Structure 1
Amino acid sequence: MRREGRPAPGRVAPRLVDVAEEAGVSLATASRSLSRSVGVSEAVAAHVRAVAEQLGYVANVHARTLAGGRTSVAGLIVYEIGDPYFAEIASGVVRVAGENGWSVQIAHTEREPSAEAEQIRLMRAHRVGAIVLAGSGYVDPVMEHEAGRELAEFEEAGGRVVAVGRHHMRCDAVLPDNEAAGETIAQHLLDLGHRRLAVAAGPAHLTTIADRLQGIRAAVARYGLPPDAVPVAHAPFTREGGRDATRELLDAHPGTTAVLALNDAMATGVLSLLRERGVSVPHGVSVTGFDDIQVAQDLAPALTTVRLPMSEIGAAALDLALRPPSARPRRRATGHELVVRDSTAPPAPRD
């Protein structure tokens, strides 16, 4: 007995024209239904897909590409695939792709704006059906102008684009809750009694950093403290960057009682340098992170941080990309959650 939905041995595999004829639709409608393109009602598309499954039809993606059509492949562009932040976003993109019969092509740019534009051009050449651009935008919009132009041309040609964490691009976007989350993590330390805060921040030209700092300064101002009095050291968004930033902060401000790292990777560097200097955490200096990557709970001490739903962010981005375009760019915000662990405590009494 053969499995339902598979052609019997010896039979010629069904073609797209067979699906169209059996479903009672045109060849173009059958093609759009199976590729989940716009211009077909969901009821008709579902009917065509059901007929295709019954006949055992398998789309010839290669032939479709040669004919000039788009594939059911989503391009995901991230800064660094080895960074847990982007790895978790990628997991959400891959999950939604699998649920919808798509696959994912991943590229990374190492935070180089020119590399973003080049990767977008490569993905356009491979005729991907959608592009998700994940990673912070730039404070100076000129830095992402070339990538923005490539994406606009891709959309004009029928592709779908969604950006994660980009303010300046005119496309659908998922915007992490960076400013509000920065305010929440600073508020936690202020509520514990800390007043001598310092920030180990990532590169100053990223909007993610500007937003997180804006939230921290809003919380500080609410306590009647001068926001600009909180020292900030900028360094790469890495463990070594966290070490370098903390060294700079403690050397210039030895009375610091709490260091806010603006991502969890930097926070591991903060903890490393404090341990090297014999400073107890949290009783000597409290430490916070940002994002809540999986390793945060396994650090010693376990890291107090603010959780952004990275996997859900990736899922939401591709979900938007698979929807028909709207007249105006859509913006989808995410929530955040304070996760209090062992790396924060009230400051030690001063002598």
Structure 2
Amino acid sequence: MATLRDVARLAGVSVTTASRVLNGTDRDHPVSDVARAAVSEAAATLGYRRSAAARALKNGHSHLIGVISADILDPYFAEMTRGIEIAAAQAGYVTVVANANRDPFQERSRFQALREHGAAGIIFCGSDIEGAPGTAELAREVNRALKEGTPVISLAPRSFASTTIVVDNEATAYDITVHLLTQGHEDIAFVGGLPGLAAAEMRIAGYRRAMYEHGKLPRVTGHHGMNQVTGHAATEALLAEPSIPDALICTNDESAIGALAAIWHAGLRIPDDIAIAGIGGTDTGRVFDLTSIELPLGELGRLAVECIVNPAAGVPSPPGYSIREGRTT
């Protein structure tokens, strides 16, 4: 690959002059039109490209946006990331995605690596777990980055200070619960979650509030995971109980798909024997025609990028959500 020195040699100018032309820094030390043309022609002939790493070192940041995902296999976070990547590309930025498995130690190491590469901003996709080991260390790392001017955006509730663009998780579960109650369902169970995970705990709180307000007894189960496998296992156990609920609300679409499989395997009909709804509105949920709270996942990603590339615009309000009525309720 051609270097700056190669360009200068072919153009017959000094390395300093070539650098000023190619980096647009010749205001204080003007370059003649002849030299400028020679440098430009030499760069084109050699296929010279400016070093992104050198540019980042000089400017303090690169055209790189870091994304730290709680689980890259979860379509919820995948759709968020897709929104980030589309918006970043349109703004001339490159996205680097790191999976952290909901582990604060992994989040911290990924965060440090992205900063070392001069990321223009870092986006967290996914909540943290209250009191998890490593949370305090991650918070200190984020605070240090903010003080040094690196934008940090969170698209889910976090325990550290950052710019947050978060949908009201409690309201989403409250609304979908009320939706099922107004359809005549009375014994509604909530499936899925993780102890201490802020988003999941908020959704459970919204479900409980709606049930209590309507004089119904809440029933939360499977509070040990938020994927298809845990959703299937929790629903299977629920269906083995003497009293089977007439509807399920799952903490996310992935849990709901696992629950759907368990219901089918039990020989029950959806929604005749038992109705089911999720939270997320992912493409996977749409394939199964799942009734779900549709969250603007891609739009959240776009807004996060906007905060990084155009900070003067301020922090946008999170977009709204809606209930998608599928065939499962």
Deviation at 1:230, TM superposition (A): 2.3
Deviation at 1:195, TM superposition (A): 1.1
Paired position in structure 2 for 1:85: 76
* Aligned counterpart in structure 1 of residue 142 of structure 2, from 110, 132, 151: 151
The superposition leaves residues 159-217 of structure 1 with CA deviations (integer Å, 9 ceiling, x where unpaired) of 11111112432111111231111111101110111111111112122111111111112
Check whether the contact 1:235–1:242 (CA below 8 A) recurs between aligned residues: no
* Aligned counterpart in structure 1 of residue 245 of structure 2, from 236, 256, 268: 256
Paired position in structure 1 for 2:301: 314
The 3 A distance-change label for structure 1 pair 25 and 187 is: farther
Check whether the contact 1:160–1:325 (CA below 8 A) recurs between aligned residues: no
Paired position in structure 2 for 1:17: 20
TM-score between both structures, scaled by the size of structure 2: 0.83
Check whether the contact 1:139–1:207 (CA below 8 A) recurs between aligned residues: yes
The 3 A distance-change label for structure 1 pair 180 and 16 is: farther
Paired position in structure 2 for 1:243: 232
Paired position in structure 2 for 1:289: 278
Paired position in structure 2 for 1:223: 214
The 3 A distance-change label for structure 1 pair 214 and 106 is: same
The superposition leaves residues 78-106 of structure 1 with CA deviations (integer Å, 9 ceiling, x where unpaired) of 01222111111111111121121111111
Check whether the contact 2:64–2:121 (CA below 8 A) recurs between aligned residues: yes
Check whether the contact 1:259–1:286 (CA below 8 A) recurs between aligned residues: yes
- Report the Cα distance in structure 2 between the residues aligned to 1:207 and 1:174, rounded to whole angstroms: 15
* Aligned counterpart in structure 2 of residue 99 of structure 1, from 79, 90, 106: 90
- Report the Cα distance in structure 1 between the residues aligned to 2:208 and 2:202, rounded to whole angstroms: 10
- Report the Cα distance in structure 2 between the residues aligned to 1:15 and 1:214, rounded to whole angstroms: 63
The 3 A distance-change label for structure 1 pair 331 and 230 is: farther
Paired position in structure 2 for 1:186: 177
- Report the Cα distance in structure 1 between the residues aligned to 2:280 and 2:11, rounded to whole angstroms: 54
The superposition leaves residues 145-169 of structure 1 with CA deviations (integer Å, 9 ceiling, x where unpaired) of 2222111112222211111112432
- Report the Cα distance in structure 2 between the residues aligned to 1:67 and 1:189, rounded to whole angstroms: 57
The superposition leaves residues 235-280 of structure 1 with CA deviations (integer Å, 9 ceiling, x where unpaired) of 3211111011112322335331111111111111111111111111
Structure 2 residue runs without a partner (length 5+): 1-6, 31-39
- Report the Cα distance in structure 2 between the residues aligned to 1:16 and 1:248, rounded to whole angstroms: 68
* Aligned counterpart in structure 1 of residue 310 of structure 2, from 323, 331, 334: 323
Deviation at 1:225, TM superposition (A): 2.6
Check whether the contact 1:171–1:330 (CA below 8 A) recurs between aligned residues: no
Paired residues for 1:1-351 under 5 Å = 17-18=20-21, 20=24, 59-67=50-58, 69-140=60-131, 144-226=135-217, 229-252=218-241, 254-299=243-288, 302-324=289-311, 330=315, 332-344=317-329
- Report the Cα distance in structure 2 between the residues aligned to 1:296 and 1:177, rounded to whole angstroms: 20
TM-score between both structures, scaled by the size of structure 1: 0.78
Alignment: residue pair count:
303
Check whether the contact 2:292–2:323 (CA below 8 A) recurs between aligned residues: yes
The 3 A distance-change label for structure 1 pair 15 and 318 is: farther
Check whether the contact 1:259–1:285 (CA below 8 A) recurs between aligned residues: yes
The 3 A distance-change label for structure 1 pair 277 and 156 is: same
The 3 A distance-change label for structure 1 pair 26 and 198 is: farther
- Report the Cα distance in structure 1 between the residues aligned to 2:55 and 2:107, rounded to whole angstroms: 26
- Report the Cα distance in structure 2 between the residues aligned to 1:164 and 1:272, rounded to whole angstroms: 30
Check whether the contact 2:303–2:316 (CA below 8 A) recurs between aligned residues: no
Secondary structure of 2:279's partner?
A: coil
- Report the Cα distance in structure 2 between the residues aligned to 1:198 and 1:213, rounded to whole angstroms: 10
Deviation at 1:137, TM superposition (A): 2.8
